[in-house]
Structure 1
Amino acid sequence: MSLKTVNTALTTAGILFIFYIGVSYVLTPETIAPGFGLSHWPLGDGDGFLILKGIRDIVSGLVLTVLLLIGQRRALGWVLLVEALTPIGDMTNVLAHHGSATVAFSVHGLTAALIVITGLLTLRETRKVTAAPIPAMR
């Protein structure tokens, strides 16, 4: 199996996962939000902020989908690395607000690590390989 096939499978799985999370936050924020890791949720109409998170996740997935579909593999690798900042930020937020360290590291930290690995593998796939110069014969 080629590196490109592995990267495509990893990226597609990540896209499907982030779409699932995003749509869940938009449609049923009260059921998915407790798994985020924070111990306290906004009072009142806090669902609006959770829906914003869902929209952000859906857009992140769409950006990756577009790059994958149009074949911009190098850009896809770089965008994956940048998008890893989202779960890193989520992990930091959970830890800073005295949420579950277990969720922070096992959900958000692991997600960030998988995105970084996929991004680095995609960049590795797209690097230019140059052949060594052939020595001149005398």
Structure 2
Amino acid sequence: MKTEKAMAQWGWRSVSYWMAMFIALGILFIGVRFVLFPQISLEDFGIQPSNYADITLGRIKGIRDMFSGLALLALLLGRMKKATACVFTAAIIIPATDCLLVYGHNGMDLPRMLVHGFTAIYMVITSFLLISNTNKTTA
């Protein structure tokens, strides 16, 4: 029962909670932006759209980003630390592979690669905080 009490206290006063919330809200915003403005969003992502199919794929990416943000928000608002930690840690693959995709498409486009790379590093740090000290409410 001690673990359940500690888990129930994880939330608004936790650094890891707000770090994960930042990513959840950020990816939700990015998803909405991809749906509404796919050409601009794709260019900012690091991919130059060349035809209407690329624009459609940008919107598809946006819908998936919106789902990811909403799913993470649901876990955060439910204060489910272990589930948040598992999903968040698995999601590190997204910015890491995005970085590789930008590299494969554009070569060494350092500014865009750094955005994806730093996001992956931020998520690794957040995951570490979420996973460690599961009995503490300040992690």
Q: TM-score, structure 2 length as denominator? A: 0.80
1:51 Cα deviation (Å)?
0.4
Aligned 8 A contact 2:31 2:63 in 1: yes
Q: Residue in 2 aligned with 1:9?
A: 18
Structure-2 separation of matches of 1:109 and 1:21: 16
Give the alignment of 1:51-66 within 5 angstroms.
Answer: 51-66=59-74
Q: Which has the larger radius of gyration?
A: 1
Point out where structure 2 has 5 or more consecutive residues left out of the alignment.
1-9
Aligned 8 A contact 1:79 1:119 in 2: no
Give the share of equivalent positions with the same residue, in percent: 33
Give the alignment of 1:71-86 within 5 angstroms.
Answer: 71-86=79-94
Q: Residue in 1 aligned with 2:119?
A: 111
Q: Which amino acid aligns with 2:127?
A: G
Task: Select which of 127, 131, 135 maps to 1:123.
Answer: 131
Structure-2 separation of matches of 1:127 and 1:80: 19
Matching of residue 98 in structure 1 with residue 106 in structure 2: yes
Matching of residue 25 in structure 1 with residue 34 in structure 2: yes
Structure-2 separation of matches of 1:120 and 1:24: 29
Q: Which amino acid aligns with 1:56?
A: R
Q: Residue in 1 aligned with 2:7?
A: none
Runs of 4+ that moved beyond 3 A = none
Q: TM-score, structure 1 length as denominator? A: 0.81
Q: Kindly tell me the number of residue pairs found equivalent between the two proteins.
A: 126
Q: Which has the higher contact order (CA 8 A, sep 6+)?
A: 2
RMSD between aligned residues: 2.1
SS in 1 for 2:133: helix
